[in-house]
Structure 1
Amino acid sequence: MIDLKGKRGLVVGVANGASIAAGCARAFRAAGAELALTFLNEKARPWVEPVAQEVGAPLFLPCDVREPGQLEAVFDRITAEWGRLDFLLHAIAFAPREDLHTSVVNASAEGFATAMDISCHSFLRMARLARPLMQAGGSLITVSFYGADRVVENYNLMGPVKAALEASVRYAAADLAGEGIRAFSLSTGPVKTRAASGIDRFDALMDKIRARTPAGKLVSIEEIGTLAAFLATEAASPMSGSVVYADNGFHTTA
């Protein structure tokens, strides 16, 4: 059994009730954790608020990492209200549509930089802000995909961005190991989320991966959430710095 009773965590990246971050939030709460959730902006709030209510999040805060000061304000509020943080989930990714839908060599410098800033560097920003709140140690978890390691058709720009994210996790895990802070890349199979809908021919990609998965079954957000909850515990400490796969074995097939 996964026990997060008495733990407090931050979940960034819930888009709606069907998102990977929502599945993780439910699993964290089911394991006993108290949560803070964020929403991108007022347009997104009605889609995220039901999840915050479902998990009983006492802190529900706006957070657009592109807006100066918003991420810092989230951690200031956590500091004021809780004074500590035990784990966080970073589940945000973005690339401009025109750069995502072209070959990687044709992506613009501006689009590449935007994708890296939002999808990768924001994880390191969160790690830096969480560090003083994790005096007793903690877990930093981000969401990745197999396209970081192998070429996936139509994944394009997000492949090198996710590869950079996974490398950042390894270096953060090494940087913070002496403070008892772990870091993990949770590499999931494809899930039909709002973010994934931006990838060209995503339904076809899901069908291909399903066919190559040993059990012929795609992973669910509930299964991903259970694994994320485990990574939030001290029991996952020996795995710090790892890419942890939640894809029903797809990554093992040739």
Structure 2
Amino acid sequence: MALPDETDLPPILAGRKALVVGVANEHSIAWGCARALRRAGADIAMTYLNEKARPHVEPLARAVEAPIFLPLDVRDRAQVDALFDAVARKWDRLDVLVHSIAFAPKEALQGRVTDCPRDGFLAAMDVSCWSFLDLARRAEPLMRQGGAMVTMTYLGANEVVENYGVMGPVKAALESAVRYVATELGPKGIRVHAVSPGPLATRAASGIRDFDALMKQVVVRAPAHRLVTIDEIGAACVFLASPYAAAMTGETLYIDGGYHVLA
């Protein structure tokens, strides 16, 4: 069954302010989330990694009428400061944070975890996990009326996925961080989740060896016998940010056609 047309989607997030980080191009999971949030009525702030990425992301920001569109390398504290200063000045609040950023140097990702160099491990953990904690800490004071934070993980956090390498331990740390942040921010009405999509042909996945073979395996073995789409992941993000998920927090929600239930 196809997702409903955007004209059929109820504006359940009308007036909400959402910050989406990690859009690289029109194939990005983050773009699916930004588009779905906008269709649900939210106002969108978006970021781009650098000037090389900007031409690919700027048309997408225009498509969702983003009033805030700024560069963001999460390792650049000045850029993170500028982003949250802009959100505070423009909106004076934030209701939704979507963190869809992951990175590991090639030498760390494609070798054995046992042999992962220290610098590569720290870079992967910094960008893929600690950055979520940093953004969550900065978003917290802007979520005065509560809110939702969502980050992206993968099955390799809990199972050994061939060629996923050091990102498995890093995503495991991210999922643990989600549970701790959910516990700490819950009394403020802030809900925190990880979404675990099935494999998709995104730029972030391009560094994983034999990734095409993994996608083919999922199509064959998953109960749904197909890959998921960025729009389906975006729809899950809308649900988690909506009042319908008011009693949920600290979850890892799988959007993978049921692949994770297989032994």
Instruction: State the TM-score, normalizing by the size of structure 1.
Output: 0.98
Runs of 5+ unmatched residues, structure 1: none
State the distance in 2 between where 1:145 and 1:210 align: 16
SS in 1 for 2:81: helix
**Is 1:112 the equivalent of 2:116?**
no
SS in 2 for 1:161: helix
Amino acid at match of 1:234: P
* Equivalent residue, structure 2, for 1:86: 95
* Equivalent residue, structure 1, for 2:216: 207
Return 108-117 or 229-238, whichever deviates more: 229-238
* Equivalent residue, structure 1, for 2:241: 232
Superposed counterparts of 1:128-147, under 5 Å: 128-147=137-156
* Equivalent residue, structure 1, for 2:59: 50
Amino acid at match of 1:203: D
State the distance in 2 between where 1:68 and 1:76 align: 12
Q: Give 1:234 deviation, angstroms.
A: 2.7
Q: Give 1:215 deviation, angstroms.
A: 2.0
Which of 48, 73, 78 does residue 39 from structure 1 map onto? 48
**Is 1:244 the equivalent of 2:250?**
no
Over residues 38-94 of structure 1, what are the superposed CA-to-partner deviations in whole Å (9 max), with x where a residue is unaligned?
Answer: 000111100111110111111101100111321121001100111000001000000
**Is 1:154 the equivalent of 2:157?**
no
SS in 2 for 1:193: coil
SS in 2 for 1:238: coil
Q: Aligned-residue CA RMSD in angstroms?
A: 0.9
State the distance in 1 between where 2:50 and 2:104 align: 18
Q: Give 1:235 deviation, angstroms.
A: 2.2
Instruction: State the TM-score, normalizing by the size of structure 2.
Output: 0.95
Over residues 132-163 of structure 1, what are the superposed CA-to-partner deviations in whole Å (9 max), with x where a residue is unaligned?
Answer: 10000000000011010100000000000000
Over residues 192-238 of structure 1, what are the superposed CA-to-partner deviations in whole Å (9 max), with x where a residue is unaligned?
Answer: 00110011111011111111101211101111110111111132132
State the distance in 2 between where 1:238 and 1:252 align: 24
* Equivalent residue, structure 2, for 1:15: 24
Which of 99, 106, 114 does residue 97 from structure 1 map onto? 106
Which of 214, 221, 230 does residue 221 from structure 1 map onto? 230
* Equivalent residue, structure 2, for 1:73: 82
Amino acid at match of 2:74: V
SS in 1 for 2:246: helix
Over residues 73-117 of structure 1, what are the superposed CA-to-partner deviations in whole Å (9 max), with x where a residue is unaligned?
Answer: 100110011100000100000000111010101101111011001
Amino acid at match of 1:249: G
Identity of aligned residues (%): 55
* Equivalent residue, structure 1, for 2:7: none
State the distance in 2 between where 1:33 and 1:7 align: 5
